[in-house]
């Protein structure tokens, strides 16, 4: 059985600070090959996501890794000891020509490895973002093998294949997470029908940021728990290994996994076998702390098992998602214009394509478009209104009445800690001013009050850095009202909270 990595370094552009190895905040596509090597060699991550989704990418990554760092990869086999995993474009969301290029990069990397005496295929898995049904997964696997057959005939490939190719479903919406068993069951059955055999194992990937963006903090966390239970039920039904992945960022809204909190937050992800280590985790904390945290994850995560849910608890979570998600979506939809206005000054950190027009896609809620999760989170934090609270206070008030609070507290282990952490960056003066100007922020103000009632404490700055942060958030809001540039204050605030978003 193949080695299952516990840590997957990714290219998520959420770092506030410069990279320790080149002192740059912006990492272009030419830097990413070196970054990949350093994540393996220096940080001891065991997997690296090479992202084709909506961004520019170096297609010669394997050639460059072998050429520049030959000695390392001779001792640490790519595809056996350390892993490079492509996140490929979803042709339902963006143009298919880039998917064809990703396929050829995977296949020619295999040829190269064979030529230089590396007998393990360097890349044999791909992540499909925004997976909504099994048909998408089967189509990826099918078209990959069609390209493989074409390549063999057109270029007289000497190496005998078929190339073993696994597809990792990245499930991003609450509604899809809570019905993940349907996707996986149909995929396993589809593989047997289309390819004559079921997969040896599955690595279903739980998105963590997008469910929060679409339904709010608490539904995002609890939906992950339902998905985990369904994953393992599918594994048991089909007698195949299940090794789930999850993609949290550093701030609670996006998952709350960072080097300072890992010993607490890792319990939240019991049952997960791989955790993403995003840019903020790697570059916004002292390097020794980062290395220690990654080592801790690699050693601890495989030992943890998930806590099963009862039927009543699953029903409770569906009720929570409906109530909390309803409050959240209604509020965010009406705040979208202001969020987008702030997001325009949140800096990019990678060479992303625009998510509009010819080269990509937009994301949103209801009838409005929103920035991607990092800029969305960074925008609200920058004005001192952390998105963790949106819809959640009113939801908790209702949960106390309808009896679902017990399930929330049992299965969201870090609920109190996450609210308290976000609360340190709350600027009540800004929130009061916003509530006077925009009625929708009166609802967020109500959410904060209800969360304080639940916690039985007042939220706000605690340490000196939090008071400095509050002042920066006030300056950002004042400059926003005057239509002035506030990018400098925004970056300084991001450095204090140790994440762009």
Q: pLDDT, tens digit, for every residue of 250-276?
A: 999 999 999 999 999 999 999 999 999
Could you tell me which residue, 57 or 456, shows the higher pLDDT?
Answer: 456
**Residue that finishes a domain, picked among 303, 337, 359:** 303
Q: Are residues 295 and 334 in the same domain?
A: no
| Distance, CA of 32 to CA of 50 (rounded, Å) | 9
Residues 178 and 290 in one domain: yes
Residue 201 domain-assigned (yes or no): yes
Q: At 221, list the tokens.
A: 């966390």
What's the Cα-to-Cα distance from 496 to each of 467, 468, 500, rounded to whole Å?
11, 9, 10
3-class DSSP state of 139 = helix
Per the domain annotation, does 1 fall within a domain?
Answer: no
Question: What is the C-alpha to C-alpha distance for residues 40 and 18, in angstroms, rounded to an integer?
Answer: 19
Please indicate, yes or no, whether residues 183 and 285 belong to a single structural domain of this protein.
Answer: yes
State yes or no: cis peptide before 162, omega within 30 of 0: yes
Give the integer Cα–Cα distance in Å for 99 and 143: 10
* Residue whose token pair is 């995003």: 278
> What's the CA gap between 25 and 51, in Å, rounded?
18
Same domain, residue pair 350 and 219 = no
Helix pair angle (440-455, 392-402), 10° resolution: 50
Instruction: Check residue 357 and give its pLDDT.
Output: 33
Residue 2 inside a domain? The answer is: no
**CA-CA distance, 407 to 399, in Å (whole number)?**
9
Whether 402 and 272 map to the same domain: the answer is no
- What confidence tier does 114 reach under pLDDT thresholds 50, 70, 90? confident
Quote the pLDDT of residue 353.
62
Residues 466 and 373 in one domain: yes
How much is the average pLDDT of 407-435?
98
Taking alpha carbons only, the member of 127, 318, 319, 322 closest to residue 226 is 318
pTM score, two decimals?
A: 0.95
Instruction: Report the pLDDT value the prediction gives residue 151, as an integer from 0 to 100.
Output: 87
- Give per-residue pLDDT as tens, 132-150: 999 999 999 999 999 988 8
- In the chain, DSSP finds a helix count (H) and a strand count (E) of 21, 12
Residue 291 domain-assigned (yes or no): yes
The vertex-16 CA angle with 35 and 499, nearest 5°, equals 105
**Residues 251 and 317 grouped into a single domain:** no
Residue with tokens 């925008």, as numbered in its chain: 379
More confidently predicted of 415 and 357: 415
Neighbours of 253 (CB within 10 A): 29
Q: What is the rounded distance in angstroms from the CA atom of residue 226 to the CA atom of residue 206?
A: 11
- pLDDT for residue 161: 55
Give the mean pLDDT of the chain. Answer: 94
Q: Indicate whether 480 pLDDT > 50.
A: yes
- Give yes or no: residues 355 and 297 share one domain: no
276: domain range?
7-303
pLDDT tens per residue, range 321-376: 999 999 999 999 999 999 999 999 999 999 876 543 333 345 666 778 899 999 99
Mean pLDDT value across residues 120-126 = 94
CATH code of the domain covering residue 58: 3.20.20.60
């Amino acid at each position: 059985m193949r080695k299952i990595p516990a840590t997957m370094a990714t290219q998520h552009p959420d770092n506030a600070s410069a990279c320790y190895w080149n002192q740059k905040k912006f990492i272009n596509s030419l830097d990413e090959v070196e970054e990949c090597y350093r994540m393996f060699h220096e940080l001891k991550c065991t997997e690296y996501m090479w992202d084709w989704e909506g961004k520019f990418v170096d297609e010669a990554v394997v050639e460059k890794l072998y050429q520049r760092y030959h000695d390392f990869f001779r001792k640490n086999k790519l595809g056996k000891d350390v892993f490079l995993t492509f996140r490929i474009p979803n042709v339902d969301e963006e143009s298919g020509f880039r998917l064809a290029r990703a396929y050829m990069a995977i296949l020619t990397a295999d040829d190269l490895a064979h030529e230089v005496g590396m007998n393990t295929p360097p890349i044999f898995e791909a992540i499909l973002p925004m997976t909504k049904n099994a048909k998408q997964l089967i189509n990826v696997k099918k078209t990959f093998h069609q390209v493989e057959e074409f390549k063999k005939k057109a270029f007289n490939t000497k190496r005998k294949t078929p190339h073993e190719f696994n597809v990792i479903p990245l499930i991003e919406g609450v509604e899809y997470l809570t019905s993940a068993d349907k996707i996986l069951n149909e995929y396993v059955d589809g593989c047997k029908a289309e390819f004559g055999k079921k997969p040896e194992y599955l690595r279903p990937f739980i998105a963590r940021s997008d469910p929060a963006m679409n339904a709010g903090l608490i539904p995002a966390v609890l939906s992950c728990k339902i998905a985990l239970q369904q994953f393992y039920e599918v594994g048991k039904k089909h007698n195949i290994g299940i090794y789930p992945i999850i993609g949290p960022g550093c701030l609670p809204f996006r998952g709350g996994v960072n080097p300072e909190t890992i010993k607490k937050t890792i319990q939240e992800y019991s049952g997960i076998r791989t955790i993403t280590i995003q840019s903020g985790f790697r570059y916004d904390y002292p390097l020794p702390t980062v290395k220690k945290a990654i080592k801790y994850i690699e050693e601890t995560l495989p030992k943890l098992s998930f806590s099963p849910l009862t039927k009543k608890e699953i029903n409770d979570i569906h009720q929570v998602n409906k109530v909390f998600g309803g409050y959240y979506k209604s509020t965010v939809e009406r705040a979208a214009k202001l969020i987008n206005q702030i997001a325009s000054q949140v800096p990019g950190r990678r060479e992303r394509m625009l998510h509009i027009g010819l080269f990509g896609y937009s994301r949103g809620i209801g009838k409005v478009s929103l920035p991607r999760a990092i800029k969305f989170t960074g925008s609200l934090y920058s004005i001192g209104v952390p998105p963790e609270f949106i819809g959640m206070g009113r939801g908790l008030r209702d949960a106390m009445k309808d009896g679902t609070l017990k399930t929330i507290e049992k299965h969201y282990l870090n609920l109190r800690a996450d609210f308290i952490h976000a609360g340190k960056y709350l600027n009540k003066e800004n929130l009061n001013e916003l509530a006077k100007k925009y009625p929708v922020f009166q609802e967020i103000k109500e959410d904060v009050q209800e969360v304080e009632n639940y916690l039985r404490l007042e939220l706000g700055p605690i340490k000196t850095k939090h008071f400095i942060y509050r002042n920066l958030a006030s300056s950002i809001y004042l400059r926003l009202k005057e239509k002035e540039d506030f990018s400098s204050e925004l970056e300084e605030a991001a450095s204090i909270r140790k994440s762009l978003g």
